[in-house]
A and B are shown apart, each in its own frame.
Chain A
Amino acid sequence: MFKEMHDLFQWAWLIPFLPFLSFLIIAFVTKRSKRLSSTISILAILSSLSLAVAIGLGVIQSGEKIVEHPAIVNVNWLNIVGLQIDFGTIVDPLSAMMLFVVTLVASMVQIYSLGYMHGDEGFSRYYAYQSLFASSMLGMVLATNLLQLFIFWELVGLCSYLLIGFWFFKVSAREAAKKAFITTRVGDFGLLLGMLFLYVKFGTLDFVALSAAMNTNIQDVAVIGTAGYVTVMAFLVFMGPVGKSGQFPLHVWLPDAMEGPTPVSALIHAATMVVAGVYLVARMFFLFDHADPMALQFIAGLGAFTAIFAASIAIAQDDIKRILAYSTLSQLGYMMFALGVGSLTASMFHLMTHAFFKALMFLGAGSVIYAMHHKQDIWEMGGLWKKMPITGTTFFIGVLAISGVPPFAGFWSKDEILAHALHNGHPIIYGVGLFTAFLTAFYMSRLFFVVFMGPEKKENHPHESPWSMTIPLMILAFFSVFGGFVALPEHNFAFFIHYGTFHHEPIAWGLAGISVVAGLLGIGLAYATYIKKAISAEKVAAQYSGIYKLLKNKYYVDELYLWLIHHIMDGLAKILYWFDIYIVDGVVNGLALITRGSGRVLRRTNTGQLQTYAMVFFFAVVIIFMVFAFGEGQLSALNPLATLGGVK
């Protein structure tokens, strides 16, 4: 049985390869035909999806064996003395789960884009990018070592850049694309340093080998140096996820990334690429585990802070996509602090459910935007429920799921995170998480009530989106409803994806009840405010205008960065410019001046008088002759007259 399964797992490389092939075909052959390009791309991703499903089922069947021994295929790629890098695929429950999530969301988004991107100039280009992205993301998930992961990590960053700037004729899109790329680069630099450090200390970047090396050598000071080194490595590696997964303070790129087409936001900036950071931390969890506990505490703290920070901003936003973007940041914070409190299972579980319901909501928002002819301000919408029943219903499912209402997917995963936070001794983080859950429920319901309920606006003529857009919504809604059930004991999600020794924890119904109450409170508050108008939002905003302005302006983080760049960076640049002009150039020009000046002086000695030259020459001969013949010390050792018997 296992042998057959292993044969199946060996074909995992096809999953990223098929979309890559489709990218090549679209880019070089079929880009003129929109229909052909999209067909090829969707066929490729659907094939990958079926393969991913097959591998997922295979993993479930293999059970304990695959948990203990991941199926790894490695091909030697780089082999220089002192540097050996493999390319390969790793199939274990973690990657199988990610493969399924990524291929599912990617196929849904690609099908959805048939409708959303219909008639766009760059339709074929869009599908080429989509395929490239899917390929890179899947390759990253399957990576067996850090360098391979890093390559695909940067490739998804590139695709993100290309897709945010897809409508490059818009200045804001171009700027957002640049911002996203550069901001994540800041984090990637740390990741690269961490990789170098790891390679120097352990001589390998392979996950399995690294893990083994750490387990055996953690006490061995000769190998690792001091234990502090591992902590430094952990922090450096963590910088990558901070950038990629939009953790504070590198979160600023994600809201701006909403300049891209909405399906792109759903795929890249909600469901897949942004969770790459979480996935990396999960993959490298052994590193964080062996580091000082401070490292995990830091991750937990940062994640929790990002969660509540982004959630509070989301309350005061008006743009439908930006609300969702801040919601994504907040949920990413959730996943991070789940890892920080030591629960790989909860984090990965939330990653999966979040991918379902956040993709669903983004695609729903896209459907709304499509119907509203690219208006994005929620206050210009209203009463869309009746006009767009499918979008409205599925969106509502998404809201319930993210708010943690049972039995929807978000309830199970969020509850598990909060339970772990409390059980593992982080009551403050539990409190922050609980409050964030309340805020999340509030701003999501606010979004829903304002857009779908309330009075209709006469100037809008919305209509339900075409089937190509609503079917993916329904499929994702299905997963948002039932995706949480994998956590039930009989499905044993926690057994497959865990770190360290496995011990099953039953669902704590008491804690779950508290978080459900928090979610319902949030929904109720939003209902009271925006439907019943029992509380006037304007009055509250006016009363706490300071806080409101702070939230509205996203805590002025962008402004702070701008100020820093204008004053600190530009000032530094001016100093360096001065240094370059006057010191560096001064040295270079000074050397040139000295050369020219000495040349001007010395050329006087070049009189053109043959006899002077001859005189100098013979004078030198006499001097040298005397030194050799009568000189003391070392020079006399070279005495040419010694061959004649010596002068002395």
Chain B
Amino acid sequence: MGTIVFFIFAILSIAAAWMVVTSKNIVHSALYLALSFSGVAVLYILMNADFLAAVQLLIYTAAVSLMVIFAVMLTLRGDICESNTENKSWFAGALVSGLLFVVIGLVVFTNADWRVLAAPWTSGGSAEDFSLLLLTRYMIPFEAAAVLLTVALVGAVILAKGVNESK
């Protein structure tokens, strides 16, 4: 059952990702991106990361995809069907990425000792455990992340707003 679910959603997210980079229409790309994110969220659930799955759905599938679509809307010009073409060196890019995948695959398969648990860790991953950890051991990074988000928010506003024309 779990295996079937895994393969369905793994294939779904990979296929969606494939469509993101191959689609000629940028709006389609953005929608496939949301689909891919959703598939990954299901993989998270399979790995007992319930809270992260929720975060993935909320932030990636909803917020990020939405923002991307807004950006597309704001910057779009010309034919929408030709809005997301490849550049001249796409083949070289494919070659390099393919090569990297082969190398990673080789490492994954040839490495004998990953020190894998006899039985996968099944507990944990709930919001309760997670928040406990965040507010004790990882409190300072947590606060820093909050500051980073605020700064990014302000920066994004300033950048997008542009120079004050009235001056």
A619 touches B107 (CB 8 A): no
Return the contact of B96 from the options A619, A626, A641, A644 (Cβ within 8 A). A619
Q: Which residues of B contact A641 (CB under 8 A)?
A: 107, 111
Q: How far is the CA of A645 from the CA of B114 in the complex (A)?
A: 8
A622 touches B107 (CB 8 A): no
A645 touches B112 (CB 8 A): yes
B111 touches A645 (CB 8 A): yes
State how many angstroms separate the Cβ of B91 from the closest Cβ of chain A. Answer: 11
Q: Given that A611-B87, A615-B89, A615-B92 are known contacts, is A622 also in contact with B111, CB under 8 Å in the complex? A: no
Tell whether A74 is near chain B: CB-to-CB under 8 Å.
no
The closest CB in chain A to the CB of B113 belongs to: A645
Tell whether A618 is near chain B: CB-to-CB under 8 Å.
yes
Interface bits B65-82 vs A (CB < 8 Å: 1, else 0): 000000000000000000
Tell whether B103 is near chain A: CB-to-CB under 8 Å.
yes
A618 touches B96 (CB 8 A): yes
Q: How far is the CA of A621 from the CA of B107 in the complex (A)?
A: 14
Interface bits B101-141 vs A (CB < 8 Å: 1, else 0): 00100110011111100000000000000000000000000
Q: Which residues of A contact B113 (CB under 8 A)?
A: 644-646
Tell whether B100 is near chain A: CB-to-CB under 8 Å.
yes
A629 touches B103 (CB 8 A): yes
Interface bits B15-27 vs A (CB < 8 Å: 1, else 0): 0000000000000
B99 touches A622 (CB 8 A): yes
Q: How far is the CA of A594 from the CA of B107 in the complex (A)?
A: 43
Return the contact of B100 from the options A611, A622, A645, A647 (Cβ within 8 A). A622
Tell whether A648 is near chain B: CB-to-CB under 8 Å.
yes
Q: How far is the CA of A533 from the CA of B125 in the complex (A)?
A: 136
Q: How far is the CA of A644 from the CA of B96 in the complex (A)?
A: 25
B103 touches A648 (CB 8 A): no
Q: How far is the CA of A202 from the CA of B87 in the complex (A)?
A: 80
Interface size class of A (residues with CB under 8 A): 10 to 19
Q: How far is the CA of A594 from the CA of B100 in the complex (A)?
A: 37
Q: Which residues of A contact B111 (CB under 8 A)?
A: 641, 644-647
Q: Which residues of A contact B114 (CB under 8 A)?
A: 644-645
Q: Which residues 41-91 in B have Cβ within 8 Å of A in the complex?
A: 87, 89
B107 touches A618 (CB 8 A): no
Q: Which residues of B contact A644 (CB under 8 A)?
A: 111, 113-114
Tell whether B155 is near chain A: CB-to-CB under 8 Å.
no
Tell whether A467 is near chain B: CB-to-CB under 8 Å.
no
Q: Which residues of A contact B87 (CB under 8 A)?
A: 611
B106 touches A629 (CB 8 A): yes
B107 touches A647 (CB 8 A): yes
Q: Which residues of B contact A626 (CB under 8 A)?
A: 103
Q: How far is the CA of A626 from the CA of B110 in the complex (A)?
A: 13
State how many angstroms separate the Cβ of A357 from the closest Cβ of chain B. Answer: 99
Tell whether A625 is near chain B: CB-to-CB under 8 Å.
yes
State how many angstroms separate the Cβ of A17 from the closest Cβ of chain B. Answer: 75
Return the contact of B107 from the options A611, A612, A615, A629 (Cβ within 8 A). A629
Q: Which residues of A contact B99 (CB under 8 A)?
A: 619, 622
State how many angstroms separate the Cβ of B84 from the closest Cβ of chain A. Answer: 14
Q: How far is the CA of A645 from the CA of B116 in the complex (A)?
A: 12
Q: How far is the CA of A181 from the CA of B106 in the complex (A)?
A: 82
A611 touches B93 (CB 8 A): yes
Q: Which residues of A contact B92 (CB under 8 A)?
A: 615
Tell which of B112, B114, B115 has the most Cβ of chain A within 10 Å. Answer: B112
Q: How far is the CA of A645 from the CA of B107 in the complex (A)?
A: 11
The closest CB in chain B to the CB of A620 belongs to: B96
Q: How far is the CA of A483 from the CA of B17 in the complex (A)?
A: 118
State how many angstroms separate the Cβ of A360 from the closest Cβ of chain B. Answer: 98
Q: Which residues of B contact A619 (CB under 8 A)?
A: 96, 99
A625 touches B103 (CB 8 A): yes
Return the contact of A622 from the options B96, B110, B112 (Cβ within 8 A). B96
Q: How far is the CA of A162 from the CA of B99 in the complex (A)?
A: 83
State how many angstroms separate the Cβ of A100 from the closest Cβ of chain B. Answer: 90
Q: How far is the CA of A612 from the CA of B103 in the complex (A)?
A: 21
| Nearest 9 CB-CB pairings of A with B | A645-B113, A619-B96, A647-B110, A622-B99, A622-B100, A618-B96, A615-B96, A625-B103, A622-B103
Residues of B within 8 A of A (CB): 87, 89, 92-93, 96-97, 99-100, 103, 106-107, 110-115
* Contacts A618-B96, A641-B111 known; 5 new A-B pairs at CB < 8 A: A619-B99, A622-B100, A629-B103, A645-B114, A647-B111
Residues of A within 8 A of B (CB): 611-612, 615, 618-619, 621-622, 625-626, 629, 641, 644-648
> What would 10 A/B residue contacts be, using CB atoms closer than 8 Å?
A612-B89, A619-B99, A622-B99, A622-B103, A625-B103, A644-B114, A645-B112, A645-B115, A647-B106, A647-B111
